[in-house]
Amino acid sequence: MTSFTLHGIPVSRGIAIGRAHILAPAALDVQHYLIADDQVEAEVARLQCAITAVHAELQTIWNELPQDAPAELGAFIDVHALILSDPMISEMPLDIIRSRYYNAEWALVTQIEELSSQFEEIEDAYLRERKADIQQVGERVLKALTGSANFLPKVDGNEGSASMIVVAHDISPADMLQFRDRAFSGFITDVGGQNSHTAIVARSLDIPATVGVSNASTLIEQGDWLIIDGDAGVVVVDPTSVVLDQYREKQARQIRERKKLGKLKKMPSVTLDGTAITLLANIEFPDDCAHAMDAGAHGIGLFRSEFLFMGRTGHAHKLPTEDEQFESYKKAVVAMKGRPVTIRTLDIGADKPMDFAEQTALNPALGLRAIRFCLSEPQMFMTQLRAILRASAFGPIKLLIPMLAHAFEIDQTLAMIAQAKAQLREEKIKFDPVLPIGAMIEIPAAALTLPLFIKRLDFLSIGTNDLIQYTLAIDRVDHEVAHLYNPLHPAVLYLLSTTIAIAAKAGVEISVCGEMAGDTQMTRLLLGMGLREFSMHPSQLLAVKNEILNSDLNVLTPATRKISRLYEPKAINEAVEQLRLL
Ligand code: PEP
Ligand code: MG
C-alpha cells in the first residue's frame, strides 16, 4: 500500500505512532452500492451470517449477565432477540437484496428505516419507543456485517497495546469514557471540532488527536500503520521508513521538552514582576485529582460533574443517586487535601447528551442544556445540590453554575440552594454554610450584563469554549464551521477583556476555565488583560506556568491595552505574536 496524508483539526498535542483500530459507525450510516446478478446469493449469505452472529452474541451477553443485574436487563436482551428473529428483520432485507440488488448494509438500513417510520405513527407511546430497540438491533447486525468491533479490546499494557490508534467516524464524550482504562496512543475522527467535548476529553487524557479528518474511517483500514501529528492536525497513513524516522525523532524531542517542564512542578507560579498567579485544574472524575496534585495545581477550577451522569448503560440507576454523587465529590475534596474544589453543576445537553434521554432539541446547543435543564428537573437538581453540600463538610468546595443568562435563573438557582441547605439543616446533616457560589460566564448576554451577576454571586468563571461558540454563532462540534472558531475575533476579545476588568474592579474573583486558559499562545494575552486565575487540564499546567514565569506584567499590560483597540485580524494576530516575544 502506498503512503498518503490526511488533514484535520489538531485537538490534542504530540506525536502518536501506531496501528489503526477502526471503530464501527455508531449510526446507521453505511455505504450504498448495487451488486451484480451473480453476487446476490453471496450477499444474502453475508447478511444471514451477520444475523446468526448477533444471535450468538446476544446469547453470550445473556449467559454472562451478573447475578445481581437488574431484571430489566435480561428482558431487554430477550426483546432484542425477538426482534432479530422477526421475519421483518431476518427475511425482508434478504428480499431487498434479491429484488433491488442493494448491498447487504443498504438493504438492512432500508428495512430498519421503513420499520422505524411505521413505529413513529403508532399511537401507543410504549410501542412507539420500541423503535429505538429496532435501531439498536440493526446497529448490532451492521457491526457484525462490517466486521469492526465496537469496543476497544482490553489490553494489559504489553508492548503492542500502547501503539493502538483509534479511528472512528465520531466518538461521543460518553464513548471516550471507555478509553480511560484502555491503553491506546491516539485517536482520529471524521467529524468534530476543536472544542467539542470529545476533543476536551482527549486533551485531558493527554493523547495526540486529530478530528474533522474527512472520511478517515473509510480511507484508513484496520491495522494500517499511522502517524498522528497532533500539533499540525496531520495523519500519515502507511508512512515510509524515512518519514517514520523523522516523526520518531520529533516525538523524542517532545518527550525531552516535557521532562524539562517537570522541573517546574514545585516552583511558585509568579510573574517576573512578582505577581502570584493561581493555576487550577479541570477534571472530569475524582480520580483525575491525582494528576492535578501531581502537576502542582492550587485546586480544581472546574469539575465537570456531568461525566458522572454519562456512560451509565447497565447501571441499576439511570442517574447517580445522592449518595453516589456525594461519594464522588467527597473523594475529590479529600484527594485535594484542603485545596479548593470547584464543582460545576450538571452541564448536560448539546454534545453531552444523557444516555437515556433521546436528543429531540431542534438545535441542541441553543436548547434545554445545563442550568436550563436542571431548573426544569428540580428533583434531579436538588439531589445534586444536596450531594455537593454534604461533601462540603469534608473540605473547601465552591459551587459553579453553567449557562446562566437571566437574573431569574440566578435567583431560582439560589433559592434551590437555600432550600437544599434548609433540608440538610433540618436533617442535622453537616455542610459548609458559606460555600461560595459562582457563575460561568459563557453566554454573551451574561458577559454584557455582569452587574446582575456580581450583585448576586461570589465568583465568576469565563467559559471561553461556549462564549466563543455563542458570540460567533458557530457550533463548536461542527467541523464544517471549525475554521470560523476564533478566540482572537475582536468581539471575543472585547467580551473577555471587559468581563475581566469589570470583575476585577468590583473585587470579584474571576478565572478562565475554557480551553483558552490552557493554550500557551494565549497566556500572555490573558495576563495582560488582568487575569490572575487560570483553570486548565493538568497536562497543560506546567507549560502555562513556564509562560507565566517568563512574563512581566509591567510590559504586558500596556501592550495588551493596545490590542483591545484593534479590529483588523492581521493586526491582532501580529500583536498577539509580539506579546510572546516581549
Ligand atoms: C466552556 O464553555 O468554556 C467550559 C469550560 O465549559 P464546557 O467546555 O464544559 O462547556
Ligand atoms: Mg461551557
Q: Among 404, 472, 513, 531, say which to mutate for ligand 1: greatest number of ligand atoms within 8 Å of CB.
A: 513
Find all residues with CB under 8 Å of 257, minimum gap 6, and list them. none
Q: Please state, as a whole number, how many other Cβ atoms lie within 10 Å of the Cβ of residue 260.
A: 10
Is 344 flagged in the annotation as binding?
A: yes
- Among residues 309, 402, 322, 321, the alpha carbon closest in space to that of 356 is found at 309
Is 231 flagged in the annotation as binding?
A: no
Output the CA angle 471-476-477, nearest 5 degrees. 160
542 neighbors 262 (Cβ within 8 angstroms): yes
**Closest ligand 1 atom, residue 462 Cα:** 3
Query: How far is 237 from 448, CA to CA, in rounded Å?
Result: 47
**Residue minimizing CA distance to atom 3 of ligand 1:** 463
Q: How do the pLDDT tens digits run along the chain, 582 residues long?
A: 689 999 999 888 899 999 998 876 544 557 777 888 888 999 999 999 999 988 888 887 777 766 665 565 677 778 888 989 999 999 999 999 999 888 898 899 889 888 888 877 777 766 766 776 787 788 788 888 876 544 444 444 444 444 889 998 887 666 666 666 666 889 999 988 887 777 887 887 888 999 999 889 889 988 899 999 998 999 999 999 999 999 999 999 999 998 999 999 999 999 999 999 999 999 999 999 999 999 999 999 999 999 999 877 656 678 999 999 999 999 999 999 999 999 999 998 877 777 656 667 788 899 999 999 999 999 999 999 999 999 999 999 999 999 999 999 999 999 999 999 999 999 999 999 999 999 999 999 999 999 999 999 999 999 999 999 999 999 988 888 988 999 999 999 999 999 999 999 999 999 999 999 999 999 999 999 999 999 999 999 999 999 999 999 999 999 999 998 999 999 999 999 999 988
- Among residues 502, 508, 465, 501, the alpha carbon closest in space to that of 485 is found at 465
Is the C-beta atom of 463 inside 6 A of ligand 1?
yes
Query: How far is 311 from 38, CA to CA, in rounded Å?
Result: 45
Is the C-beta atom of 465 inside 6 A of ligand 1?
yes
Q: Please count the residues of the chain.
A: 582
Query: How far is 277 from 79, CA to CA, in rounded Å?
Result: 57
Query: How far is 234 from 188, CA to CA, in rounded Å?
Result: 10
Output the CA angle 515-519-525, nearest 5 degrees. 105
- Helix spans in 206-364 (H): 216-219, 241-261, 289-294, 322-335
516 neighbors 487 (Cβ within 8 angstroms): yes
Query: How far is 365 from 350, CA to CA, in rounded Å?
Result: 5
**Residue minimizing CA distance to atom 1 of ligand 1:** 463
What's the confidence (pLDDT) of residue 153? 46
In this structure, which ligand is nearest to the CA of 197? 1
Is residue 197 part of the annotated active site? The answer reads yes
Question: Would you list the DSSP string of 510-526?
Answer: EEE-SGGGG-HHHHHHH
What's the confidence (pLDDT) of residue 157? 42
What's the confidence (pLDDT) of residue 184? 80
CA of 403 to the centre of ligand 1 (A): 9
Query: How far is 462 from 54, CA to CA, in rounded Å?
Result: 48
Is residue 513 part of the annotated active site? The answer reads yes
Which of 197, 298, 479, 537 is labelled catalytic? Answer: 197
Walk me through the domains of the chain, giving residue ranges and CATH numbers: 4-24+150-242 (3.50.30.10), 26-146 (1.10.274.10), 270-579 (3.20.20.60)
**Closest ligand 1 atom, residue 306 Cα:** 9
- Among residues 72, 174, 176, the alpha carbon closest in space to that of 133 is found at 72
Is the C-beta atom of 347 inside 6 A of ligand 1?
yes
Query: How far is 200 from 535, CA to CA, in rounded Å?
Result: 13
CA of 563 to the centre of ligand 1 (A): 25
What's the confidence (pLDDT) of residue 66? 63
Is the C-beta atom of 466 inside 6 A of ligand 1?
yes
201 neighbors 222 (Cβ within 8 angstroms): no
Question: Is 304 in a helix, a strand, or coil?
Answer: strand
**Closest ligand 1 atom, residue 402 Cα:** 6
Which of 21, 169, 289, 513 is labelled catalytic? Answer: 513
Q: In Å, how far are 70, 273, 524, 579 from 521, measured between CA atoms?
A: 50, 20, 7, 9
Is 339 flagged in the annotation as binding?
A: no
Question: Is 246 in a helix, a strand, or coil?
Answer: helix
Q: Is the pTM of this model over 0.85?
A: no
**Residue minimizing CA distance to atom 8 of ligand 1:** 465
Give the HSE-up count for residue 205: Cα atoms under 13 Å, Cβ half-sphere: 23
What's the confidence (pLDDT) of residue 109? 87
Instruction: Specify the pairing of strand 9-12 against strand 15-22.
Output: unpaired
**Closest ligand 1 atom, residue 461 Cα:** 5
